[in-house]
Structure 1
Amino acid sequence: MNGILKKTALAVTGFMFLASSATAAPMLPNFVPLAKNAGPAVVNISTEREVESPVMGMFSFPGMEQFFEQFGGPFGMRPGQPAPKQKSSALGSGFIISADGYIVTNNHVVEGADKITVKLNGDKSDGLAAKVVGTDAETDLALLKVESKTALPVLKFGDSDAMEVGDWVVAIGNPFGLSNTVTAGILSAKGRDIHAGPFDNFLQTDASINPGNSGGPLINMAGEVIGINTAISANGQGIGFAIPSSLASKVINDLREGKKVSRGWLGVTIQDMDDNTARALGLKNAKGALIGSVLDGEPAAKAGLRAGDVIVRVGDTDIDSASALTRSVASLKPDTKVDIVVLRDGKEVKTTVTLGERSSHNTNAQNPGQQSEGGDLGVSIKPLTPEDARALQLSADVKGLLVVSVKGNGPAAEAGIRTGDVILSANLKPVTSADELVSIVRKEGKERGAVMLQINRHGETFFITVTLDNK
């Protein structure tokens, strides 16, 4: 009898398991309608730009440089003659936001491109020529425009703020040139700061994102764009980052309307609080943004803010970190009057600040600086000016060389040097002129095969080693 009861119990258990599995199956999302509806609005973006060709060719031997310097360059090149140019191509993604051809992508996808071509999903032609309507390097966003004889499929922005960790998301793009690839996952985290820019507030997802996905949409289950896929973790799997739509939509609207992307400016250097600093200031917790210095003549100084104040609120927004303060102030327009609450001597102090205008940290192309050709780093640089330091929110005593541009195939790019970086030293020697940097790179760099640069990026200082060809 007991055996019969056991068999019956197992049968019932098995039935319950199958029943629960059958019940759970319909709960899994169906991505087919989403892929069919959203896919046609996602485009492939290819770019071309001219770069210097390696003059050494495939073969070289010690002393060849001196031979060419004395008797002329390879294939008839004369000393001092510019290196020949070759075309370099790259691929990225984008998505259409209007039937008349406006397309959103990343700035880094199209930056420096001489030619931009957009291919629609399923299009077997040579594609459509695209022009850049506007870019915003600080948020890594760009708006393109193509002309089409027919109305184009579109995607709409959704509300990234309404998304919660664990929500299903879908990424569509062109990883490794594989057009219209659809991957699915969940929203892994919100508000990630990966030190890619001053307004880092990325969405993190485990939906597979790879090179070529840049500029493509991250979509919610309603088919709305809640993020623009931008970055990946080189050392991890299933860790991708997207610009939230709450930030991107505002920037794109300004670019589409032909407006300048302008942001509020406070005129302070700031840093995060920690427990020791809070204890030293007699505060209960480590929230807020600590003012390290107040720039003379700037809005904060005019409003009476001081070094050592801890900013805890801007308008109706609570501030829990330095990055939160940067984003909050930048979200407001210049000349906006805003109430700011600080903690000073353990007490709350409220003041009203009329914001100034934040300058872009990308150097104006009218002053490109000196090209460090002899240094072989693959960068354009210029001495850091007080105006540059202000735009980068650096203290006035920072001295160095501002990186104006980085060649996509050069040693500096491979090492991770970015436009807007400030080179403070090379092999522990301070550099304030192009000649100083070039001299170190030519001598020590060539002898050792590498040069160690001290970099200031958005107020953080660290070292990057650039590998050089020491033949």
Structure 2
Amino acid sequence: MKKTISLLFLSLISGAITLVGYKYFFESSTLQNQQEGVQSTSTVPQLPTHTNTSIAGIDFTEAAENTVHAVVHVKNLSYVQTRSNPIMEFFYGYKGQTQAQVGTGSGVIITEDGYIVTNNHVIDNASELEVTLNDNQTYKAKLIGTDKQMDIALLKIDTDKKLPYIIFGDSDNLKLGEWVIAVGNPFNLTSTVTAGIVSAKARNLSKTGIQSFIQTDAVINPGNSGGALVNTRGELIGINTMISSNTGSYVGYAFAVPSNITKKIIEDLLEYGNVQQAVLGVSGFELNNLIAKDLDLSLTQGFYIQEVVATSGAKQSGLQKGDIIQRINDKPIKTFVDLKTILNTKRPNDKVNVTYNRDGIENTIEVSLMKVENTTISYNGFEFESLSIEEQNKFKLNYGLKIKTVKNPKYAPYKEELEGGILLAINGKKVQTTNQAQRIFEELGNKQKIKLEVISASGEVLRIIV
């Protein structure tokens, strides 16, 4: 018994000594090392940490409050003719009727006197346009102009009072991961605010490679089209235009037209009545690893020039086949969309600094941009193209378009006579360029009768109604 008590006492004494030693030697040493900044000798890595989260210091309230007052509800009233039923018409005299359809979307006030920007698809085919402000006041709106390619439209309402509006920000300065706010009227819910980040820039959603969208994960649904995408300072950096979804509702991807492109379109519509498009005057393709290997190139990014237009500023500045465009105005060019994003904000005769690589050597030159002209246009089964210099000399004309093909079945009997002929005038207006003809056709629409004055392939002057 005494032996057991002795062993128990000895164990208690040993434990106490061990505890005191640990406290004195280890904990005091660790504390001293921390105070003196001595790094631990432990093999466990010390990972850097940040005490603040990125969203903690961000306040969306002021930007949201200012934006909702400048975002409007746009209503598109159009009329459609219902199909007639021959049986109902025969027995009961019933004929097709005209029915009204109402489409809705959003818009953004950009000036205090009532200019509003929205999407082209929001107002497309409208017979009447109506705008409701955030204070529930409603106005009739007038269409100033559109750019179908970039899905932008400009409206105007007349009011005696000064309206709240949003100032433009610089969409080129957007950074991936930057917080943005989307404001619109989804599902007829007025002034809905959602937040997200910039997921991508210069996103291409077009087979032609022309579009250049901002991608965001801010929630956007039907009705948000034409609404505002703003940064945390409340500056307009995009016009919400579409979602990518199999269901028609938001699933995580939303897109907006950058503000710099939108601003340029609006300025063109106000100053020129149409959008001024500029091009470098080169054609080619973007590089990747496989193409670079086939062409035996060391560069795998950039725009490879395959052809230079003879009359372009690019040709005059010395660009040639085989040059690889690396930057324009010091902005990197990795894809064709990067190139178009810059050119979409420029006008004919603007000058840009082009940095290109030729045989491994970089050079920078100034290039004057040229006006883009459509070489062919189509209307109601007719396809027209610009006249060549030889054709102008042959027909002794300094205006007109060549009738390339006729696919309208109504004019099939006259196909041989019309194809190869010359379109001289539309409703009495002489046709100078394909762009001019395109604008006339767009203004008149497909439902109106149009008188075309043409010279047939045999040289006979004809007047036909389309």
Equivalent runs, 1:60-459 vs 2, <5 Å: 75-77=93-95, 84-123=97-136, 127-195=138-206, 199-235=210-246, 237-257=251-271, 260-295=274-309, 297-300=311-314, 305-338=319-352, 340-344=354-358, 353-359=367-373, 369-370=379-380, 381-383=381-383, 385-386=385-386, 433-435=407-409
Corresponding residue of 1:400? none
| Cα deviation 1:25-66 (Å, max 9, x = unaligned) | 99264444433332111100001122332334xxxxxxxx7x
Which structure has the larger Rg?
2
Corresponding residue of 2:72? 43
Q: Which 10-residue stretch deviates more, 284-293 or 110-119?
A: 284-293
Question: Which letter does structure 2 place at the counterpart of 1:277?
Answer: I
Question: SS where residue 38 of structure 1 aligns?
Answer: helix
Q: Any conservation in 1 of the 2:260–2:345 contact (CA below 8 Å)?
A: no
In percent, how many aligned pairs have the same letter? 37
Corresponding residue of 1:54? 83
Question: Which letter does structure 1 place at the counterpart of 2:77?
Answer: E
Q: Which 10-residue stretch deviates more, 179-188 or 291-300?
A: 291-300
The change in CA–CA distance for 1:289 and 1:386 in structure 2 (over 3 A counts) is farther
Q: Give distance in 1, aligned partners of 2:92 and 2:365.
A: 67
For residue 173 of structure 1, report the CA deviation from its aligned partner.
Answer: 0.5
Question: SS where residue 69 of structure 2 aligns?
Answer: helix
Question: Which letter does structure 2 place at the counterpart of 1:210?
Answer: N
Q: Any conservation in 2 of the 1:45–1:118 contact (CA below 8 Å)?
A: yes
Question: Which letter does structure 1 place at the counterpart of 2:146?
Answer: T
The change in CA–CA distance for 1:155 and 1:74 in structure 2 (over 3 A counts) is farther
Q: Give distance in 1, aligned partners of 2:354 and 2:230.
A: 36
Q: Give distance in 2, aligned partners of 1:47 and 1:166.
A: 35
Question: SS where residue 187 of structure 2 aligns?
Answer: helix
The change in CA–CA distance for 1:246 and 1:25 in structure 2 (over 3 A counts) is closer
Q: Give distance in 2, aligned partners of 1:385 and 1:44.
A: 41
The alignment's TM-score, normalised by the length of structure 1, stands at 0.63
| Cα deviation 1:315-364 (Å, max 9, x = unaligned) | 5444222222233344333134555454455555766644321247996x
Question: SS where residue 385 of structure 1 aligns?
Answer: strand
Q: Give distance in 2, aligned partners of 1:250 and 1:342.
A: 26
Q: Give distance in 2, aligned partners of 1:182 and 1:292.
A: 47
Q: Any conservation in 1 of the 2:180–2:229 contact (CA below 8 Å)?
A: yes
The change in CA–CA distance for 1:342 and 1:73 in structure 2 (over 3 A counts) is farther
The change in CA–CA distance for 1:327 and 1:204 in structure 2 (over 3 A counts) is closer
For residue 76 of structure 1, report the CA deviation from its aligned partner.
Answer: 4.9
Question: SS where residue 141 of structure 2 aligns?
Answer: strand
Q: Any conservation in 2 of the 1:282–1:346 contact (CA below 8 Å)?
A: no
The change in CA–CA distance for 1:171 and 1:340 in structure 2 (over 3 A counts) is closer
For residue 437 of structure 1, report the CA deviation from its aligned partner.
Answer: 13
Q: Give distance in 2, aligned partners of 1:225 and 1:305.
A: 37
Q: Give distance in 2, aligned partners of 1:134 and 1:30.
A: 36
- RMSD of aligned Cα (Å): 3.8
Q: Any conservation in 1 of the 2:209–2:336 contact (CA below 8 Å)?
A: no
The change in CA–CA distance for 1:355 and 1:166 in structure 2 (over 3 A counts) is closer
Q: Any conservation in 2 of the 1:281–1:346 contact (CA below 8 Å)?
A: no
Q: Give distance in 1, aligned partners of 2:90 and 2:375.
A: 41
| Cα deviation 1:370-392 (Å, max 9, x = unaligned) | 2xxxxxxxxxx5325358xxxxx
Q: Any conservation in 1 of the 2:376–2:386 contact (CA below 8 Å)?
A: no
The change in CA–CA distance for 1:167 and 1:274 in structure 2 (over 3 A counts) is closer
Q: Give distance in 2, aligned partners of 1:74 and 1:355.
A: 64
Question: SS where residue 100 of structure 2 aligns?
Answer: strand
The change in CA–CA distance for 1:221 and 1:328 in structure 2 (over 3 A counts) is closer
The alignment's TM-score, normalised by the length of structure 2, stands at 0.64
Question: SS where residue 227 of structure 1 aligns?
Answer: strand
Q: Any conservation in 2 of the 1:231–1:240 contact (CA below 8 Å)?
A: yes
Q: Any conservation in 2 of the 1:281–1:345 contact (CA below 8 Å)?
A: no
Question: Which letter does structure 2 place at the counterpart of 1:369?
Answer: Y
Q: Any conservation in 1 of the 2:376–2:383 contact (CA below 8 Å)?
A: no
Q: Any conservation in 2 of the 1:156–1:225 contact (CA below 8 Å)?
A: yes
Specify every segment of 5 or more residues in structure 1 that has no aligned partner in the other structure, as ranges.
2-19, 57-64, 78-82, 371-380, 388-430, 439-471
Q: Give distance in 1, aligned partners of 2:264 and 2:341.
A: 13
Question: Which letter does structure 1 place at the counterpart of 2:179?
Answer: W
Question: Which letter does structure 1 place at the counterpart of 2:200?
Answer: A
Q: Any conservation in 2 of the 1:175–1:212 contact (CA below 8 Å)?
A: yes
Q: Give distance in 2, aligned partners of 1:320 and 1:436.
A: 48
Question: SS where residue 228 of structure 1 aligns?
Answer: strand
Q: Any conservation in 2 of the 1:291–1:307 contact (CA below 8 Å)?
A: yes
Q: Which 10-residue stretch deviates more, 247-256 or 180-189?
A: 247-256
The change in CA–CA distance for 1:289 and 1:171 in structure 2 (over 3 A counts) is same
Question: Which letter does structure 2 place at the counterpart of 1:156?
Answer: I
The change in CA–CA distance for 1:279 and 1:386 in structure 2 (over 3 A counts) is farther
- Paired residue total: 346
Q: Any conservation in 1 of the 2:62–2:234 contact (CA below 8 Å)?
A: no
Q: Give distance in 1, aligned partners of 2:144 and 2:359.
A: 49
Corresponding residue of 1:395? none
Q: Give distance in 1, aligned partners of 2:169 and 2:286.
A: 31
For residue 297 of structure 1, report the CA deviation from its aligned partner.
Answer: 4.8
Question: SS where residue 347 of structure 2 aligns?
Answer: coil
Q: Which 10-residue stretch deviates more, 219-228 or 196-205?
A: 196-205
Q: Any conservation in 2 of the 1:55–1:74 contact (CA below 8 Å)?
A: no
